[in-house]
Amino acid sequence: MGRWLWLSSSLLVLGALSTIDPARAPDASSLGGTCDSTRDCVEGTRCIHHRDGAMDGQCSSACSATQACQSEFGQASLCLGADLCAPTCAQAADCPDGTRCNVYGWCERPVSE
């Protein structure tokens, strides 16, 4: 009986540990910054993968309305149709390093060919 109690307790602890965010890098990117993993993003954002055309390889957060993004990241942000927050821009200088201002007015990571 004790063995089963120990095993089930161990599994619960491992399950809990797997849901904890990874440690963030000291130079973590903010909203719209480039990333390879969530560790590269500031707290409150995660690295987006496999969303071709919308924040792929960038730090973002889920949203359902622009007001939610602006509340979290300031007025220079919006909620994309992909339900992700993105920084707004008028020119390339408004965007984080490694990204560019697209024709829709938000910062995107250029697609590598």
| pLDDT tens-place string over residues 11-64 | 565 555 445 555 888 888 999 999 999 999 999 999 998 766 689 999 999 999
| Nearest Cα residue to 59 out of 85, 97, 78 | 85
**Could you tell me if 47 and 35 are in contact, meaning their C-beta atoms sit under 8 angstroms apart?**
yes
| Nearest Cα residue to 56 out of 76, 41, 35, 38 | 35
Q: What's the CA gap between 108 and 113, in Å, rounded?
A: 15
Q: How many whole angstroms from its chain centre is CA 52?
A: 14
Percent of the chain with pLDDT over 70: 76
- The helices-and-strands tally (H runs, E runs) of the chain is 2, 6
Look at residue 113 in the predicted model and tell me its pLDDT.
46
